[in-house]
Amino acid sequence: SDFFEQFFSQQRGGNQQQNQSRKGGDYQTEMEISLQEAYLGTSRIIQLENEKLRVTTKPGAYTDQQLRIKSKGARGSSESNRGDLFVRIKVANNLKYIRKGNDLYETINVNLYDAILGNDSIIETLSGKLKIKIEAGTQNGKSIRLKGKGMPVYETPGTFGDFYISIQIKMPEKLTDKQKELFEELKSIS
């Protein structure tokens, strides 16, 4: 009987200990950042009850990425048993660039004359301005790939996606009489 009494008292004590060490629940929130902030990395202050937390993203952050901050959730039976805080990242849409994975896409307008004769064009990327060559005879919809000029690959320093430029040829809306005459002459030569 002493054996059973000792065994059951240990069992009851174990259950009480489990109840006393109950873990708190997890919190979830969303943090919206711009594409530029996703490129460079950023941080935000989040107010959580009576506590301010700085949440930092690394370069290459992406939509639906989930950051876990340990022991910043609901309180459990003790301070050491707090739940976790999960922060879901949302990268805001950008009017200029489209992001697909680590690659960026942009459509630029090129005038008819530069498409026919060729020219240099300055484009803006998230890492700065670049000069690209528009080859003579460039066709509408042509794509130019700039290797390594896209988004940084998350947690892989020095590795970047690519930047794709789609050429949209802008036709002149109104021609002067002289321009019409020259186009007619070109047409007759061709």
112-168 pLDDT tens trace: 999 999 999 999 999 999 999 999 999 999 999 999 999 999 999 999 999 999 999
Contacts of 14 (CB under 8 A, 6+ apart): none
**pLDDT at residue 4 greater than cutoff 50:** no
**Residue 168: C-alpha distances to residues 104, 106, 186 (Å):** 17, 10, 23
Identify the pLDDT of residue 5.
Answer: 54
Identify the pLDDT of residue 1.
Answer: 45
Identify the pLDDT of residue 152.
Answer: 98
Identify the pLDDT of residue 20.
Answer: 57
- Residue spans of alpha helices (H) in the chain: 2-20, 35-40, 112-117, 177-189
Contacts of 27 (CB under 8 A, 6+ apart): 48, 72, 73, 74, 83, 84, 85, 86
**pLDDT at residue 12 greater than cutoff 70:** no
29-66 pLDDT tens trace: 999 999 999 999 999 999 888 889 999 999 999 999 99
64-88 pLDDT tens trace: 999 999 988 888 877 678 899 999 9
Q: Which of 7-11, 96-100, 158-162 has the lowest mean pLDDT?
A: 7-11
Q: Which of 2-11, 64-73, 97-106, 168-177 has the lowest mean pLDDT?
A: 2-11
Tokens standing for residue 170: 């802008």
Q: How far apart are CA 84 and CA 70, in angstroms?
A: 5
Residue 53: CA count within 13 A, CB half-sphere: 19
Identify the pLDDT of residue 2.
Answer: 54
Judge contact between 76 and 82, C-beta under 8 A. yes
Identify the pLDDT of residue 76.
Answer: 82
